[in-house]
Amino acid sequence: MSQNPVPPSRGNRAGSGPASQNEITAEIEEIEADAAARVAAGASPELQPRRDYAPYRSSVLRHPTHELVRVDPEEVERVSPAFGHTDVNVLESDLTIQHVGEPIGERMTVSGRVLDGEGRPVRHQLIELWQANAGGRYVHKRDQHPAPLDPNFTGVGRVITGDNGEYSFTTIKPGPYPWKNHVNAWRPAHIHFSLFGTAFTQRLITQMYFPSDPLFALDPIYQSIADADARARLIGHYDHSLSVPEFSLGYRWDIVLTGPKATWMESEDADD
């Protein structure tokens, strides 16, 4: 393995260097067609990304080859850590006030609700958020691409959801940025979200995107969810009623967690 000139985690399936966008796009389309054929043959749409998704090269050596072992959650999995206002300062939901000056970029608010699999609000739980700045650069030291850092923007926020599962962040719109999955690879603009439910089984880390991004079709991370309707659930929608005059543009994004399984009633599942 040490003789392999290509780092395994970035390896090309053919082993001949980074792929072109056209090659990646062809792989993406082939998998989407396969997923659509399965649905046409009666399978359920794929609600989650494929773990083995070769167009996203880093997944090649990082997905299990065995099927996951399906088990009933025990008490450990049916509850979740409790987070609260002693853990998170209310000011942490505003990413634009963390430094002396105002960050550069399009100021926006992202608001929505966190719901469980039955549509009930997930109350008083932790949401963490992180993102690139308006130029598409992360503060993270491994991000060394030549876009400017913004001394007035870190890009980290936290909030505890309210009584109705609601949340709101004030931030700036992140920029798209290049990465090295393949030649001329660019990530659509996105915000990372980390969420807890009332059961640990509901844990979720995901990304929120913005409407009509021209990079969607080219991005193997967004496309790792092979079902078009499922991946569209990651798009926050512009909501003019959330825009604040003279201040910010508003986006709405509701997040639906799985389960918790403890509340499922099998007889009604059959109707879904």
Give yes or no for a cis peptide into 176 (omega within 30° of 0): no
Q: How far is the CB of 204 from another protein (least distance, A)?
A: 6
Which of 73, 162, 175, 176 touches another protein (CB under 8 A)?
73
Considering the candidates 53, 56, 107, 138, report the single residue annotated as catalytic. 138
Site for another protein in 98-137 (CB under 8 A): 115, 117-120, 126, 128-130, 132
Residue 257: Cβ-neighbour burial (10 angstroms; 0-12, 13-18, 19+)? buried
Interatomic CA distance for residues 99 and 34, integer angstroms: 48
Pick the catalytic residue: 50, 78, 107, 187?
187
Stretch that binds another protein, among 23-31, 35-43, 103-111, 218-226 (CB under 8 A): 218-226
- Options 36, 147, 230, 249; binder of another protein; rule CB under 8 A: 230
Distance separating alpha carbons of residues 208 and 132, to the nearest angstrom: 12
Active-site annotation holder among 57, 78, 190, 231? 190
Pairing of strands 177-179, 185-187: antiparallel
Size of the site for another protein (CB under 8 A): 91
**260 is a site residue for another protein (CB under 8 A):** yes
Q: Does 59 bind another protein (CB under 8 A)?
A: yes
Residues from 170 through 189 that contact another protein (CB under 8 A): none
Give the burial class of 42: count Cβ atoms within 10 A of its Cβ; 0-12 exposed, 13-18 middle, 19 or more buried: exposed
Is 99 marked active-site?
no
Can you tell me which of 3, 16, 86, 144 binds another protein, judged by CB under 8 A? Answer: 86
Residues whose CB falls within 8 Å of the CB of residue 195, separated by 6 or more in sequence, listed in order: 114, 122, 125, 126, 127, 202, 203, 204, 205, 206, 255, 257
* 79 binding another protein? (CB under 8 A): yes
Q: Does 62 bind another protein (CB under 8 A)?
A: yes
Cα separation values, 197 from 123, 124, 246, 260, Å: 8, 9, 35, 8
240-259 positions binding another protein, by CB under 8 A: 255-259
CA 178 – CA 186 distance, rounded (Å)? 4
Radius of gyration in angstroms for the set of CA atoms belonging to the chain, rounded to a whole number: 20
- The CA distance from 152 to 129, in Å, is 17
> Residue from 207, 215, 243, 249 that binds another protein (CB under 8 A)?
207
Active site residue 50: no
Site for another protein in 4-43 (CB under 8 A): 8-9
Annotated catalytic residues are 138, 177, 187, 190, 192
